[in-house]
Amino acid sequence: MMRFGFKVTVLEGRKRAGGRVYTKKMEGGNRLSAAADLGGSVLTGTLGNPLGIVARQLGDMLHKVRDKCPLYSLDGKPVDPDMDMKVEAAFNRLLDKASTLRQLMGGVSVDVSLGAALETFWDAVNAEETNLFNWHLANLEYANAGLISKLSLAFWDQDDPYDMGGDHCFLPGGNGRLVQALAENVPILYERVVNTIRYGSEGVQVIAGNQVFKGDMALCTVPLGVLKSGSIKFNPELPQRKLDGIKRLGFGLLNKVAMLFPHVFWGTDLETFGHLSDDPSRRGEFFLFYSYATVAGGPLLIALVAGEAAHKFETMPPTDAVTRVIQILKGIYEPQGITVPEPIQTICTRWGSDPFSLGSYSNVAVGASGDDYDILAESVGDGRLFFAGEATNRRYPATMHGAFLSGLREAANMAHYANARALRIKINRNPSKNAHSCASVLADLFREPDLEFGSFSVIFGRRNADPKSTAVLRVTFNEPRKKSHDSSNPDQLHSNKLLFQQLQSHFNQQQQLHVYTLLSRQQALDLREVRGGDEMRLNYLCENLGVKLVGRKGLGPTADSVIALIKAERGNRKPASTSLALKSGTSKLKAGNLKKKFVRRAKIMRTGNGSAPSANSNLVNGKVSDETTTSQAPSNTLGPGQNDSDMLKND
């Protein structure tokens, strides 16, 4: 945003930047130290991951998380490899069955949980198989930061088609280095807890305590948990559509116990190992361990707490939690003759109790769908208040790169709206030239209409694919018409035919006549499909849609805004050229060309789960006007008030 020419102020509720990406330096005796990622920690795939590019720009090689993940039983003994493979294969087949079931159920599957399907199909032979099955369920709950009993059978894996390729990696020194690099030279005001955001046609006011920050636009990047809590008041209230989306989406929990030891006793040949539980309600309690010894700068081990256990962990005394973890580690390693030392320093996270996060990352709960991510991403207040963060990214939710990409997306959107407003300001500052300028702009835009049929042509913004978005319709009368011999009921169409003939008669006296109206994009598409020629379309327009055709001056300020937006957008397009002259073809929109929704099954890999990005950043080129423009929070991890605070799915 700053490079676009915006004056930016970031309001951060915490004492630090980064929110749910939090690297804490742990220290102990003998000058031991380690960088512990208490939030988002794993780059899930490197092919096309923009954060992977930023990481490489920092100069360090990423460290691959190896696939090896041995599992240990309750008694500390390694799980039999054959049984491990058998149960894992059976678990993946269950996911296949669940995928088939939702297809058979159709729309009914929206109201059914994934857990109900999996637990119905599972048929264990013995206790050890049951414990293994529960470990995989815990891993699934870790991947989604949610209880499988609350995940949507229909859409829990809706982002799977976008999973990126490449290795899952650690960044040496922790992901706080990414935050530090991205926040460099950005004006951030810390400990500014936002309680109210006001937005309207004149701009925004963001209130933090007794301070009021005014701007042209604001970008809200608080976690979904904060939006759900209602701790920030919006004035006017957010649209019901957005409120419903906030309510439907799930926001789960993942916690960690980070332990700095005197030395590495668990070995350096693996990054992960797991531990089974015989209690389904505690299956996610310290079920997976991550070794950061090779990347943190010291002997650091982190235990994960997922699912129902993560919620109970919020109230567990830290000493009890650490004692339990040490018991598990001793049960695994002491039978091998390896002494487990006491940790030098420990940290227990409490993301669910953190007022700046109130959870960890989003998921598709029962009753929700991927559409809700898109709804959360929608701006409100005619381009005044914008939203970013992992819960606004349908393709890459619950990931660090998803949050980052959403920030780029909104930077482009904000620049787009600012350019459009700047164009309107320039027009309004020259009232004597206003009518001529608007007419000239409109004429230029209609040289390349987005739709054209008969005497009708339509222009609309390409960036907003919402069928309800506003379009400008022009009817051109440019040749006399022969008397109609239509056999339709004359009383039904008489008034509109007469109007049409009168307008054509007017053309005989004038060089050309254009009349206009505003309608929705979908209405324009419907109008195009009307059969019977221009007279029938005119009848449909007036009788069915109830619109009035007016001259250019009669369109009013709403049309000026739409025209300015379209003009600004087209101004950012690269012109196509030919060998003889610059020439642009007319773009035709195909009716009924709707994006199909599909769901693909997921296989849960032990090395972690995450969404995969393509690098479609949708950046806008072009300058912002010389007039000072203020934005609140340009990036995904930085925002007004309670910053996007807590760990992401890339754990």
DSSP per-residue letters across 49-84: -HHHHHHHHTT---EE--S---EE-TTSPBPPHHHH
Place of tokens 């209602």: 230
pLDDT at 641: 37
Task: Give the number of other CB atoms < 10 A from CB of residue 607.
Answer: 17
**Average pLDDT over every residue of 565-580:** 60
Q: How confident is the model at residue 359 (pLDDT cuts 50, 70, 90)?
A: very high
According to the model, what pLDDT value does residue 468 have?
Answer: 85
Question: What mean pLDDT is reported for the chain?
Answer: 83
Please say whether the beta carbons of 92 and 601 come within 8 A.
no
Give dist(CA 216, CA 24) in Å, integer.
Answer: 35
CA distance 521 to 469: 6
What is d(CA 309, CA 319) in angstroms, rounded to the nearest whole number? 16
- SS3 call for 573: coil
Please name the amino acid found at residue 221: T
Q: Label residue 498 by pLDDT band (50, 70, 90).
A: low
Residue 201: what residue type? S
298-313 tens-digit pLDDT: 999 999 999 999 999 9
Residue 469 pLDDT: 86
The confidence band for 626, taking pLDDT boundaries of 50, 70 and 90, is: very low
CA angle 231, 407, 146 (to 5 degrees): 55
pLDDT band at 501 (very low <50, low <70, confident <90, very high): low
Whether the predicted pLDDT of 613 surpasses 70: no
Q: Which residues lie across from 194 on neighbouring strands? A: 208
pLDDT (mean) for 427-438: 53
- Is the predicted pLDDT of residue 578 greater than 50, yes or no? no
Task: Give dist(CA 610, CA 623) in Å, integer.
Answer: 36
Residue appearing with tokens 């995969």: 612
SS3 368: coil
Average pLDDT, stretch 283-310? 97
If phi > 0 it is left, if psi is from -120 to 50 it is alpha, else beta; for residue 389 that is left
C-beta of residue 396 within 8 angstroms of C-beta of residue 613: yes
Buried-exposed string 497-514: b where 16+ CB fall within 10 A, e elsewhere: beebeebbeebeeeeeeb
Closest CA to 143 of 598, 607, 601: 607
Instruction: Collect all residues with Cβ–Cβ distance below 8 Å to 436 and sequence separation of at least 6.
Output: none
Q: Which two tokens stand for residue 488?
A: 């339709």
d(CA 49, CA 64): 14
**pLDDT score recorded for residue 427:** 54
CA 371 vs CA 405, 411, 451, 550: distances in Å: 18, 21, 27, 37
- Contact 413/421 with Cβ under 8 angstroms? no
Domain boundaries, the chain: 7-18+167-250+367-417+610-632, 71-157+255-348, 433-571
Q: How confident is the model at residue 438 (pLDDT cuts 50, 70, 90)?
A: low
Q: For residue 456, give the 3-state DSSP assignment.
A: strand
The yes/no answer on whether domain 71-157+255-348 falls in CATH 3.90.660.10 is: yes
Q: How far apart are CA 619 and CA 535, in angstroms?
A: 43
Q: What is the pLDDT of residues 42-52, one digit of tens each?
A: 999 989 999 99
Tally of CB atoms within 10 A around 588:
12
Arithmetic mean of pLDDT, 127-156: 95
- Bond preceding residue 236 cis, omega within 30 of 0: yes
- Cα–Cα distance between 73 and 79 in angstroms, integer? 6
Nearest alpha carbon to residue 502 among 533, 551, 494: 494
Q: Which of 115-119, 288-292, 586-590 has the lowest mean pLDDT?
A: 586-590
pLDDT at 97 over 50: yes
pLDDT at 137 (0 to 100): 96
- pLDDT-wise least confident of 20-29, 232-241, 561-570: 561-570
What spatial distance separates the first Cα and last Cα of the chain, rounded to whole Å? 28
DSSP three-state, residue 407: helix
Stronger pLDDT, 485 or 426, i.e. the higher one? 426
Cβ count near 73 (within 10 Å): 18
Q: How confident is the model at residue 201 (pLDDT cuts 50, 70, 90)?
A: very high
Look at residue 410 and tell me whether its pLDDT is greater than 70: yes
* CA gap 562, 345 in Å, rounded: 59
Statement: residue 651 has pLDDT above 50: no
3-state secondary structure 592-623: CCCCCCCCCCCCCCCCCCCCCCCCCCCCCCCC
Residues 210 and 208: their CA atoms lie apart, in Å, by 6
Average pLDDT over residues 451-467: 84
Output the pLDDT for position 508: 47
pLDDT range class, residue 195, cuts 50, 70, 90: very high
CATH class of 7-18+167-250+367-417+610-632: alpha beta
Token pair 């933090």: residue? 208
12-26, 227-241, 263-277, 624-638: which has the minimum mean pLDDT? 624-638
When pLDDT is averaged across residues 403-415 and rounded to a whole number, the result is 96
- Please state, in angstroms and rounded to a whole number, the distance separating the CA atoms of residues 593 and 589: 8
Write down the pLDDT at residue 109. 92
Helix (H/G/I), strand (E/B), else coil: 568? helix
Backbone phi and psi for residue 3, each to the nearest 5 degrees, phi listed first: -70, -25
pLDDT at 477: 79
Higher pLDDT, 500 or 444: 444
Q: State the number of CA atoms in the 13 A half-sphere of 505 facing the CB.
A: 7
Is 60 exceeded by the pLDDT of residue 289? yes
Residue 554 pLDDT > 90: no
Please, which pLDDT band fits residue 617 given cuts at 50, 70 and 90? Answer: very low
Q: What is the DSSP letter of 631?
A: E
Beta pairing, strands 7-11 & 188-189: parallel
* Percent of the chain scoring above 70 in pLDDT: 79
Mean pLDDT check: name the lowest of 171-175, 424-428, 513-517. Answer: 424-428
* Parallel, antiparallel or unpaired: strands 513-520 and 385-387: unpaired
313-342: burial string, b at 16+ Cβ within 10 Å, e else: bbebeeeebbebbbebbebbbeeeeeebee
In our burial notation (b when 16+ CB lie closer than 10 A, e otherwise), range 418-457 reads bbbbbbbeebeeeeeeeeeebeebbeebbeebbbbbbbbb
pLDDT bin (cut points 50, 70, 90) of residue 566 is confident
Q: What per-residue confidence (pLDDT) applies to 561?
A: 80
- Percent above pLDDT 90 for the chain: 62
pLDDT mean over 203-214: 97
Residue 437's pLDDT band (cuts 50, 70, 90): low
Q: For residue 228, what pLDDT is reported?
A: 99
Q: Count how many residues are written for the chain.
A: 651
